[in-house]
Chains A and B, each alone.
Chain A
Amino acid sequence: MDQTGLGILVPVTNRPSNPRVRRAARVLALVPALLVTSATGVAFAEPPATWENTPPVSGLHVVLLLVMVPLALLALITLLVCLPSMSKGETYHPGQPWRGESEWFGGPRTGLEAVDSAVPPALTTSGPTRGGASGRW
């Protein structure tokens, strides 16, 4: 046993002893599947004579059903998605300049005037400090 511990890996990685046996086993495993699928004949079926003949469908009808209905659904879903933000009156759109006035929720009664008269917080290098996080978008 060598000092690096790599020696322990040798008995774990088993090399294929006999590739011929493996190949034979693979073929043997496939044979039942092939047999079953090839043994069945092609299925033929005709509509029963009691079924009534379907009338021919016009092209306009097909277009109406397969094109117009999905388009109408598309329009409806788009409208439903856009409706909430339209009704909420979102004024902020990313990429456009912000025109709103500053607003402070839960701030002091005097608003931003208090900030100008505030003493800047003492910078302490030891002891408990403030924390937080920053981000951009």
Chain B
Amino acid sequence: MTESSLEHNSSQQLESAPKSVKFSPLFAIFVQTTQSLYPPAMATSRGETAATDTTVCIHCGDPIRGDGVVEDGRVFCCNGCRAVYNILSRSDACPAPVIRPVSDKRFAYLDEPGVIERLREFSDGTITAVTFSVPQMHCSSCVWLLENLYRFDSGILHSRADFLQKTITLRYAEQKTTLRKVVELLASLGYEPMLTLESLEKNPRRNPDRSLYAKIGIAGFCFGNIMILSFPEYFSGGAVEPALKSLFSYVILALSLPVVFYSSTGYFRSAASGLRRRVVNIDVPIAIGIVILFVRSLVDIVGETGSGYMDSMTGLVFFLLIGRLFQNRTYDSLNFDRTYTSYFPLAVATRRNGSESTVPVTSLHPGDRMIIRNNEIVPADAVLMAGDAAIDYGFVTGESRTVTGVPGDRIHAGGRQQGSAIELEVVKAVSQSYLTQLWNDAAFRTEPQGNLSRLSNAVGKYFTAGIFLVAAGTGAYWFPRDAATAWNAITAVLIVACPCALALATPFAFGTALRVFGKGRLYAKNADVVESMSRIRTVVLDKTGTLTHAGGSGIRFVGDPLSTDERIVVKSLVRNSHHPLSRVIHDSLEREPALPVAGYEELPNAGIAGVVQGMSVRVGSCAFAGRQEWTARTKSSDPESSAADDPARRPPDVEHSDRPHEQRETRSEASQRVYVSFNGRPRGYFSVAGKYREGIAPLVDRLRRTYDVLVLSGDSDRERNALHERFGGDVPLHFNQSPADKLAFVADRQRQGDSVLMVGDGLNDAGALKQADVGIALTDDTTAFSPACDAILDGSRLPWLDKYLSFARSSRTIVLLAYAISVAYNSIGLSFAVRGALSPIVAAILMPVSSITVVAFASLTLRALARKRGLL
């Protein structure tokens, strides 16, 4: 028994959208505007849903979702596989282009020099390099095809795909081809690049940690060699020949230079920028430690008074850099910095003096006429001039709900037209529209405060003050007695106090938590987010799309898939009923035409029946349209049959009585089933998920024990009672909140000294997500859009939110304990140092041991804790 999806089932879209090449309108949404971002955990879950008898692609062997591509009786998962199969099957002949690029005037704007100038990465007058985002890339054939583009267009010199980031970088000869031709080729192959406003911003995603690897490599190399060269001195008891000893010392000195002047530059820079802002961050004592270690060792080596502490210094830098690497667990395919520009089109068709042309949206001015076709996004606030508007504001509110409009109506930017083309007159420029002006707010202009942990900075301040105090005390004690020992003792204090373990505790503890969260499908941007989560006091929840399901996402048909004819019949019947479930089914079949129904009848508490094209159809409760044994047979194959498994609870059926409001609300917790039978034979059922996400009410209950919980909604307050019913009367609810209101609300709470966690999903939450101390974007499929945020949470794991927050708090406790260990080690070191008796070998043992203890303590305790709480 297979499950077939209707087009609204979001998890199925996740799978099928990038593969389908017969672009249905809904697939086209994904193709045009979303960036595929399977995080590692999502990618593994793909295999689980593969049903046993799914057909597989004849070329790559992947299971086929949706319709696939059929040619000569062979079924392919995507156009890429079909093209590759064709090329391979006639490898003797010249691989005549299977697909000829079609000229498409949609891409005419790509001929404009201004657009080319901003899209390209590099040009020397003959060769141009450009990177496109190609979210449709999903299998090895896609990679092969995209890397063999030269077979189709000899002007393309070289192309290289990045599978995880879903990008392709290519170089083409300007004499032989144009940017427009390249894009048209990609589009006709089924890989239309995602050209959004964001593409105009120069290359936002170049990885900065490439230099981090080099720094670690160099620091590790120098550290290892310096250690080996220091061993003779440590273990020979002074029996090394003076000539060799001096040679070793100078080689050590030479090896330490790249570590000080290249590998540790980041710490100097961070300390300097901190001091300029009059903040003593944790990098200040680290930088001081490195400098003192280096200068003291330099003086020792050159003055031949000792062998120096270069091994400790390079080891310190090496460990710190590894901590930095650990802290930045990156999710290649996730993007946390999106603004509206990631979703808005690059260009739009406009009509001037009767002729149509495509212009970049940035050059739209009030008064311009633009043409928006099916599935295109309205890029600016406008007034409808002609055509029937059916605008889906799903991108803005997070809920797919179509709003219709007639000429004269105002259409806000961010809506997506569903249906025939409409003509609009621009009222406001793109950046000044109702939605987009949110990004002019100060919250989006403030530079991020570096990626320094606030906790370690706060401790670092006292720590720095403390060691200076000890150093001054040591100096005051020794100077009157012995100036040489004073210099020894003071530098030794500063060396041993270098907060290596302190600086490692934070990245390893929060970095471990970051990985634990990643396994639980909460993808945090960096380790600092975990720390911010640990100090949250207020949790603000968006309503639409966060507490509720994203529109229509929860409907699917269980049973053998319905044929097109059957879908038409079902739609024709349900369109006559006004019951909410009938409406949901009707909306899910929006592409099918409707036919007249004979003998329609509606039976309260049972269902609806009628005859369409000679076929007798029943849609309704199990008793009315299903059969008990049928239910029993399919129970095992239905993954969401929790309601049916509970014998005390009858499967919720379609109700056609006017039940009291509250009762319907409680029922909507679980999924409901609507059975379908044709000519008396049961065919299967629609599973309709409840309006509210499962586990929301218990989550709010648990959260309220520790946090202030609030709900912000952009909707009117018609659901106030339903929400009160669900969460209890004392959860503050705020309705009619505009995107700017939400931002202001969060900012206001923060001014009162609150740390705010915002959970939202749509672009209308983008301001609040950005302003909040932690903004978590909720998404049901990670291929869909998510606004700029600190973390992305899979919708199904929302009930775990309190677990994550309490784990973040535990991580903070572990960090504080690690600090205590680190301070204990430092005290031992200081007891040597103040006496002027810190020999290089004591420093060389103490430093790595303290670092390893702290790192092991932080990561092992947190892993054990995560396992105990069921997070791992």
Say if A and B assemble together. Answer: no
